[in-house]
Amino acid sequence: MIRAVAIVLALLAGTAAAQELDGSVRPNARAVPEAPALVIRPIARGSQDAGPVIRPVARPAPRPDLAHGARTRAINRAEQGLFAFSPYALATSMRPVRRTAAIEAAAEERRLARLRGQVCGDVAIQGQSIGRVDGAGACGIDQAVRVRSVAGITLTPQATMDCRTAAALKRWVERGAIPAVGGEGGGVAGLRVVSHYACRNRNNATSGRLSEHAKGRAIDIAGIRLRSGREITVLTDWGTARDGGRLRQMWRAACGPFGTVLGPEANRFHRDHFHFDTARYRSGPYCR
């Protein structure tokens, strides 16, 4: 009995399989469930069995060479969204033409001439070392120099002094005379010197104390010559609206580099010039 039932079931199963293959399965026929397919699940990152993690790399955006951008139409340029070349701009920047050998040789010669002409160990002080200058009595200068220019400003005539006075004169020219004049008349070109080394007493008196001029420590300046050829003079311009302020600025700037500074308001002997000397006083500079 049991064997007969098994045979019937086997026949029925074979018939159902055949009908499924040729599409003749009846609607009310029961389908035999299929075996579940293999499911592949992702392995969590960091798992020991996962192996090395390969991450995608961003591809670089293709960008033409910017060197060619200036020569293309604006719509095709690589720098879109960053900046734009003018269609009239030069493709390459202009560079100065190299100086000729003759120009460089002339410049080098001027540089060497300045080095040869420097005195007091300062290339900004040009002149000649003349050594010991003897004078009557206590007059005289040790290691004197004859200065023709300071900071590019010419002295007329050349002035004889010691190096401390020459250095003070250079500081005054740079910090006093040049800034006070500024661009007026093209700027300062020269100084008119009315006294430098001279073996004499103060104020040219027949008696009394020796002047600082007698020791090479003083210089008197009466005028400031401009590049335009005009001259600002202490005598005629001290009280003027045009140049009086400049002269007073120069006078104030000298008080410090020099120990004694005298101008038109000091006394009648200095009505027409500035007197600068490098005397030292315990109380500080004497400026009138």
Note whether residue 45 is domain-resident.
no
Residue 223 contacts residue 233 (beta carbons within 8 Å): yes
Note whether residue 251 is domain-resident.
yes
* pLDDT of 42: 65
Note whether residue 102 is domain-resident.
no
Written as one letter, the residue type at 158 is: Q
Handedness of CA 216, 217, 223, 226 (dihedral sign): positive
What sections of 144-216 are H helices per DSSP?
A: 163-172, 178-181
35 or 222, which is more confident? 222
Terminal CA-CA length for the chain = 151
Question: How many C-alpha atoms does 238 have within 13 Å on its Cβ side?
Answer: 14
* pLDDT (tens digit per residue) in 242-270: 999 999 999 999 999 999 999 999 999 99
Note whether residue 57 is domain-resident.
no
The total of structural domains in the chain comes to 1
pLDDT at residue 191 tops 70: yes
* pLDDT of 278: 96
Rounded Cα–Cα distance for residues 122 and 134 (Å)? 25
User: What backbone phi and psi angles, to 5 degrees, belong to 129?
Assistant: -80, 130
pTM: 0.65
* pLDDT of 39: 63
* pLDDT (tens digit per residue) in 55-69: 777 766 655 554 444
* pLDDT (tens digit per residue) in 146-171: 999 999 999 999 999 999 999 999 99
Rounded Cα–Cα distance for residues 149 and 128 (Å)? 11
224 or 59, which is more confident? 224
Q: Containing domain of residue 254, as a range? A: 117-287
Note whether residue 13 is domain-resident.
no
Note whether residue 107 is domain-resident.
no
Note whether residue 62 is domain-resident.
no
Rounded Cα–Cα distance for residues 145 and 162 (Å)? 6
User: What backbone phi and psi angles, to 5 degrees, belong to 143?
Assistant: 55, 60
Burial of 274 (0-12, 13-18, 19+ CB in 10 A): buried
Note whether residue 245 is domain-resident.
yes
* pLDDT of 172: 97
Across the range 165-188, mean pLDDT stands at: 97
Residue 193 contacts residue 127 (beta carbons within 8 Å): no
Question: How many C-alpha atoms does 192 have within 13 Å on its Cβ side?
Answer: 14
